[in-house]
Amino acid sequence: GQYSSWVVLKRYQEFHDLHAKIVDALQHSRPDLIVELPPLPPRESKMLVDHLQRQFIEKRRLLLQDYLEHLIK
């Protein structure tokens, strides 16, 4: 097949780990910038919310996309 279009699936934990690494790095180099970081979207309990519902997946995708866009800026 062609590899012109790649889709990468990420788990929420990977975004959480990324955020923690960024905060850790900033604490050592530029602690004043930590307040500028966008907040990571909150976790939702798997007991209360079905994480396989399309609506949940799309909402989380949009929140994480917004997080990444603000992080890049």
Mean pLDDT for 1-10 is 57
Report CA Rg, the chain. 15
Please state which of the ranges 6-10, 29-33, 48-52, 56-60 shows the lowest mean pLDDT: 6-10
Between 30 and 9, name the one with better pLDDT.
30
Q: Tell me the C-alpha to C-alpha distance, in Å, between residue 32 and each of 15, 16, 26, 36, 37.
A: 22, 21, 8, 8, 10
Query: What are the distances in angstroms from CA 38 to CA 8, 28, 44, 54, 71?
Result: 22, 19, 18, 25, 6
Please say if the pLDDT value at position 3 is more than 80: no
Please tell me the predicted confidence (pLDDT) of residue 47.
87
pLDDT band at 28 (very low <50, low <70, confident <90, very high): very high
Answer whether 15's CB lies under 8 Å from 63's CB: no
